[in-house]
Chains A and B, each alone.
Chain A
Amino acid sequence: MPVDKEMADTILGTFRKMFKELEDKGITGESFQTMRTTMDRMEKLALETNDVSEFTAKLTTENLFLEFSNAYTETMTALAKGEYSEGGGDELLMEKTLEAYEQSIESLKGNPNYEKLKAPIEELIELGKSGISYPVFLRMAEEQGLYQTLQGDIVVRDAILSDKMFCELLHLPLEVEKHEKILEKHDELTSQSPFNVADSFQFGLERQKIEWDYTPRINQWNLISRLWEKMIRTQECNPGILKAREKVFMEYFQMSWDDIFNHETFLTAYDANYIWYSDQTLELIKKAYPYCKPFGKPAPELIREAEEIYSTKSYKRPNAFQYSDEDREKFIALFGEEKWNEYFGKSRSSSKLKIFKDNLI
């Protein structure tokens, strides 16, 4: 059975487009022929393989992506050399350069950051058309950092800021801290640059280093949260199971039951309304804990208290998994008011989980 057509189209779309553009121009030659053979093989694999993972693995291990890209580079280089060798000097170079930038704006269409990415390219085109000579154009583009911004530096900075805000919205303090450091490093490199634009290669390495630093700490945070979430789950409060979970908690992080409620992971979840249980239930859970031993039984007054909580339906935190006003502002800053109303209505009554369920993010 072939790979799902939509998936194959997504994977092969760019290659088909590159191939067709050259085919329409009537390009021939050895490297273009290699592009054709490689393209045919990729199309054939889309029909012959059974799923996307097998398909992408074959495309990579058979070096098809690579062969296609190399042949494309070769074709384009030959094409450019042919055009440039026709003579015409700087004027022709300027014309071809601006033409290439205009084409790149076309190819950006559909990109979510289209407006931001096209701005520096338009600036370059405008500069090129302002009547200056080709070498002056090249120098000014260099000095104004336009080549670096072409690599998407503005979008990069905006993306870090949005990521940071998104992590604030989800109440992930270590992720927020990580993004702050990334932003700080980005701005530091910008200030060190003679043309006031961060070197994208250098920034990439620095960013990777910061992410690498935070990975074990973030994993630890997630593991701790996951373990206590299971420990306080009353539906599964079989004493034997709880003791076994406590043992895992102790072995991993040398933490016990009493450490849960003052730990930063719990306090963060509590402040973020991520604790489903009401304060009354949490207090009962704490009071019941000493009785929760294999072969043990809870005190009668605790059973009465539990019954009362159940009959009055006060076991759940009223605002559990609800956005606070501050969260709402952050959400709107990130996705706009329209999305807020679409997802949560004006009443703000919907759950935080809805956003994940509906795959908005």
Chain B
Amino acid sequence: MEQRHKEYIEYYQSRLKKYEKNPLYINSYQSEKALYDAIANAANIEEFGNTVESQNLAVKNAIALVKDQETARKKHYEEIQEDIRLHAPQRILDLLDSVETDLELINMISDVESEVSIEITVDLFTQEIYNDLMMLEEIEVYQSAEVPDEWKKEINQQRPQEMIEDGIKEWNEFIVPNARNWDPNWQYNTSLIWEERHRRIMPFRDEILKKRITQFKTYRGI
């Protein structure tokens, strides 16, 4: 065996080692092994080159890596209930078997990631309620405070109404147009607040959240 051939066998062996004991990379290990076997069993480098090309081993290897990583990403998003982010690994895995070249693989992944990044941006508008919590608390405090007549001058009785007027104006002039830049048909959907990825960022009881949702709708004129 010529020296160059021997050196390439050692190189493919080192690549194999990288995935050997890591359960995340089961497919990559197999595809790297196919490459290693191809070079170890070839009579020379040229024969190895022909095998790689005829069996599309380099592309299969890239696909295997994507399959491993996207499978792990899918499991991860399922566990943490990130239902929108989950779309990216789901779609990539669905389309993976239809890919035949490296370029198709790269383009398919970019297409899916770009599509899902828009979905994520749109979904994150749901968290406007979280950003508004302080205002909602202030409105409630000023509306429910029990203040004797002689002290009423001390607090601004008009404050909650002014806050609501400003809130509606800001919503219509900035937040809605911004969201519609991403989705022209966007409407705030309060039922999404209860989905785990949004619900969990507001660490208080459901009945309090229900009250805040009602106040939020008034504050933003929804």
Which of A60, A90, A194, A195 lies in contact with B117, CB distance below 8 A?
Answer: A60
* 30 residue pairs A–B, Cβ–Cβ below 8 Å: A53-B178, A57-B178, A57-B181, A60-B117, A65-B114, A73-B103, A133-B4, A135-B7, A135-B11, A142-B14, A143-B14, A192-B22, A194-B17, A199-B22, A202-B72, A205-B72, A205-B73, A216-B203, A238-B147, A238-B151, A240-B146, A240-B148, A240-B155, A241-B142, A241-B155, A244-B141, A244-B145, A244-B146, A248-B140, A248-B141
Among A212, A227, A253, residue most surrounded by chain B Cβ atoms (within 10 Å):
A212
Q: How far is the CA of A192 from the CA of B24 in the complex (A)?
A: 13
For residue B169, CB closer than 8 A to chain A, the reply is no
Q: Give chain A's interface residue range (CB within 8 Å of chain B).
A: 35 or more
Q: Are B147 and A294 in contact (CB under 8 A)?
A: yes
Q: Are A223 and B24 in contact (CB under 8 A)?
A: no
Task: Mark interface residues in B141-157 (1 if CB within 8 Å of A CB, else 0).
Answer: 11011111001001100
Q: How far is the CA of A216 from the CA of B209 in the complex (A)?
A: 14
* Chain B stretch 85-130: residues in CB contact (< 8 A) with chain A: 102-103, 106-107, 110-111, 114, 117-118, 121
Q: How far is the CA of A83 from the CA of B66 in the complex (A)?
A: 27
* Chain B stretch 152-207: residues in CB contact (< 8 A) with chain A: 154-155, 177-178, 181-182, 200-205
Q: Are A194 and B144 in contact (CB under 8 A)?
A: no
Given contacts A205-B76, A238-B155, whether A226 and B134 have CB atoms under 8 Å apart is yes
Q: Are A77 and B141 in contact (CB under 8 A)?
A: no
Q: How far is the CA of A69 from the CA of B109 in the complex (A)?
A: 12
For residue A256, CB closer than 8 A to chain B, the reply is no
- A202: nearest chain-B partner, CB-CB: B24
By a CB distance below 8 angstroms, the chain B residues around A245 are 141
A interface list, Cβ under 8 A from B? 53-54, 57-58, 60-61, 63, 65-66, 69-70, 73-74, 77, 90, 133, 135-136, 138-139, 142-143, 192, 194-195, 199, 201-202, 205, 208-209, 212, 215-217, 219-220, 223, 226-227, 238-241, 243-245, 247-248, 251-253, 294-295
By a CB distance below 8 angstroms, the chain B residues around A219 are 201-203
Q: A205-B76, A219-B201, A244-B144 are in contact. List 10 more A-B contacts (CB 8 A).
A: A54-B181, A57-B181, A138-B11, A142-B11, A142-B15, A215-B200, A240-B151, A240-B155, A248-B140, A253-B204
Q: Are B148 and A61 in contact (CB under 8 A)?
A: no
Q: Are A194 and B182 in contact (CB under 8 A)?
A: no
By a CB distance below 8 angstroms, the chain B residues around A244 are 140-142, 144-146
* Chain B stretch 1-59: residues in CB contact (< 8 A) with chain A: 3-4, 7-8, 10-11, 14-15, 17-18, 20-22, 24
| Interchain nearest-CB distance for B126 vs A (Å) | 15
For residue B137, CB closer than 8 A to chain A, the reply is yes
Q: How far is the CA of A49 from the CA of B178 in the complex (A)?
A: 12
By a CB distance below 8 angstroms, the chain A residues around B20 are 194
| Interchain nearest-CB distance for A81 vs B (Å) | 10
Q: Are A194 and B18 in contact (CB under 8 A)?
A: yes
Q: Are B14 and A74 in contact (CB under 8 A)?
A: no
Q: How far is the CA of A30 from the CA of B205 in the complex (A)?
A: 58
